[in-house]
Structure 1
Amino acid sequence: IQSALTGHLVLSTLHTNDAPTAVTRLLDLGVPAYLFNSTVLGIMAQRLVRTLCPHCKQKVPFSEPTQHQLWHSLVSPWKGEPPKEVYRPVGCLECRNTGYMGRMGIYEILLMNNELKKLVNEHADIVSITEQAYKSGMKPLRLSGAMKVAQGLTTIDEVLKVAPLAN
């Protein structure tokens, strides 16, 4: 925070479950709200999911009721049409019979705006901050993961491992 006050671009890491939680974590660590608001431009949360092996992934119809239920849980409260088909891991020599090859990121970006800064000044709770972040255009990790599932790059199970559904 002190370095950011001097005009330098500062990139840092902080262990939280999502981007809005980083706001409350920094405030809990003793960063004054006025300093937070004058230095933080945005917060990005990221998680890595395993990527399906392009050599052996198998196309399957997206038809089971449980799959549709999980899909709607991933994209809620947004309305995303479930894909007609998804891919499942199989395993081959290329991926050492795991069905996966490498990992890719799913992301959540919170850009600070006047509404969020006002909530920070008011020491609002995490629920209020998260709701305002969604209203301001932030898409959750789950939605980023759902887009990767629809593109055939990973599975719903992989997304749920790193971005579990809210309780």
Structure 2
Amino acid sequence: SPFSLGIAPFLVASALLGTIAQRLIRTICPKCKQSYQPSSEEFDLLFAPSQERENTQLYKGNGCDYCYQTGYYGRKSIYEILSVSSEIRKMIAESASKDIIVRQAIKDGMRALSQNGIREVINGTTTLEELKRFIEVREDDDSIRVHSKK
């Protein structure tokens, strides 16, 4: 953190415009991509409790010569962009915790890395297993779950 480098929080707050975080995730191979019914655990991680379980499909690659039996072919970037609002600027100046700042950023409209990753799983671009390699998807965090499959 900048504070461990001896930079005063008010200096960071006054200079920071925003931050970007990104991860590269592997994409499902188009040649061996197959749909499947998600397990209860997978469904609960991805969707809000109000979502209908019937007809929900996820995708995975079974492995083929095209993808060298991995089930993945290519990569895609997922990201989050945090714009520093006046409220967040004040929080940084007051040395607020990361969790408090992230909650405020989401309230201000930021889509978290985990939210963007979950969208890619639901859209069939990648798998939940691939997403879990980079992002902690927690069952107790309802803010990241998809409330509408569209």
What band does the TM-score fall into relative to the shorter chain?
0.7 to 0.9
Aligned residue in 1 for 2:92? 120
1:53 paired with 2:53, answer no
Q: Counterparts in 2 of 1:1-167, with a 5 A limit?
A: 25-62=1-38, 64-72=39-47, 84-166=56-138
Listed as ranges, the gaps of 5+ residues in structure 2 are 141-150
Change (3 A) 1:46 1:30: same
Letter in 2 for 1:44: I
CA displacement at 1:51 relative to structure 2: 0.7
Encode CA deviations 1:37-69: one digit per residue, 9 max, x unaligned. 23221101111211101111111233x212212
Over the residues paired in the alignment, what is the CA RMSD in angstroms?
Answer: 2.3
TM-score of the pair, normalised by structure 1: 0.73
Letter in 2 for 1:35: L
Listed as ranges, the gaps of 5+ residues in structure 1 are 1-24
The 8 Å contact of residues 10 and 94 in structure 2, kept in 1 or not, is answered as no
The 8 Å contact of residues 58 and 121 in structure 2, kept in 1 or not, is answered as yes
Identity %: 36
Say which structure, 1 or 2, has more relative contact order (CA 8 Å, 6+ apart): 2
Q: Which has the higher helix share?
A: 1
Q: What is the alpha-carbon distance in structure 1 between the residues aligned to residue 52 and residue 2 of structure 2?
A: 37
Letter in 2 for 1:34: F
Q: What is the alpha-carbon distance in structure 2 between the residues aligned to residue 85 and residue 163 of structure 1?
A: 21
TM-score of the pair, normalised by structure 2: 0.80
